[in-house]
Structure formats: C-alpha cells, structure tokens
C-alpha cells in the first residue's frame, strides 16, 4: 500500500516488492511540491534500501532519491494523512473513517531493471501532478 498524505504528509504502505514504485512517486511529489507539501513514505514491511533501478530511473529525470530509505508506518501516520494512495494492498490496508483513499494500479516493479522501471516512473508522474492539482498545491 502506498499512502500520499498531501499537502501535509506523504505516506506509503507497501510490500517490499512495491517499494520501487512508491519511492518514484515520493520523488516526484517532493520534487514538484517543494516546500508547499510534505511527503512521507513507508510500508508495513519496509525493505532495507531503495531499489537501485528506481534511483537510476529517477536520476534520469534529475530527481535524486538515493538518500531515501523505507520506513515503517503507523496508524497515526495514516490517520494524519489528507490522502492515502494505495497500490494494491487489498484487505491489508487500514481504513479509517473520514480519510480519503485512492488506489493506483501499477505494474509490480520487483526485480525489474531500469529499462523496465521507466514506464512505471512515467505512469506515476502525471498521477502525482493530478493529485497536487486536486489538492491545490502549487507545482514548482
């Protein structure tokens, strides 16, 4: 699951094999929103490092996510979210009344090289733009 808490927080709850797509979305969110919104990413079972293919794919777009690392999420983080973006977590996603949820269906990036991560990266960018527009967060 990935959670986007904008404009206050970005939070993503993913399985280990979804960390790549989430880090890419977080990279776009942080790059586009700047100081106008805060992003937080994590997972219920976060991995120990960001997939090198995600780092390489984002670097091609001038976005450095090499300093990111997977973080565990808590119910408090999800409850604080303005928007929770899920990526195929199904029944494992915590649902709290009054929180906006949206699911982004994406290909599973687990084990993919940079060439095959690019289409996932390119799919995430317009979704993040659209979300920021809906939340009236100016894009830099």
Which own/partner contact pairs does 130-135 have at CB distance under 8 Å and 24+ positions apart? Answer: 131/4, 131/6, 131/29, 131/83, 131/85, 131/102, 132/6, 132/29, 132/32, 132/33, 132/37, 135/6, 135/7, 135/37, 135/82, 135/83
Range list of β-strands (E), 7-110: 83-86, 100-103
Question: How confident is the model at residue 61, as a pLDDT?
Answer: 94
Question: How confident is the model at residue 43, as a pLDDT?
Answer: 64
Structural domains counted in the chain: 1
35 belongs to a structural domain: yes
140 belongs to a structural domain: no
CATH number at residue 78: 3.40.50.2300
The per-residue pLDDT string of the chain (140 residues; one tens digit each, 9 = 90 and over) reads 344 443 333 334 444 445 455 556 788 888 898 888 877 676 666 667 777 898 899 999 999 988 887 777 777 777 788 888 877 665 566 677 888 888 888 887 778 899 999 999 999 999 999 999 998 998 87
């Amino acid at each position: 699951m990935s959670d986007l808490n904008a404009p206050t927080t970005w939070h993503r709850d993913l399985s280990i094999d979804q960390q790549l797509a989430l880090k890419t979305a977080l990279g776009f969110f942080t790059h586009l929103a700047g100081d106008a919104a805060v992003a937080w990413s994590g997972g219920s079972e976060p991995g120990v490092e960001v997939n090198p293919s995600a780092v390489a794919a984002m670097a091609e777009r001038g976005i450095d996510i090499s300093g990111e690392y997977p973080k565990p999420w808590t119910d408090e983080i999800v409850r604080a979210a303005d928007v929770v973006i899920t990526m195929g977590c199904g029944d494992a996603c915590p649902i709290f009344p009054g929180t906006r949820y949206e699911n982004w269906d994406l290909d599973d990036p687990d084990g993919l090289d940079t060439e095959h991560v690019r289409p996932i990266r390119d799919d995430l960018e317009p979704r993040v733009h659209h979300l920021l527009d809906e939340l009236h967060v100016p894009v830099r």
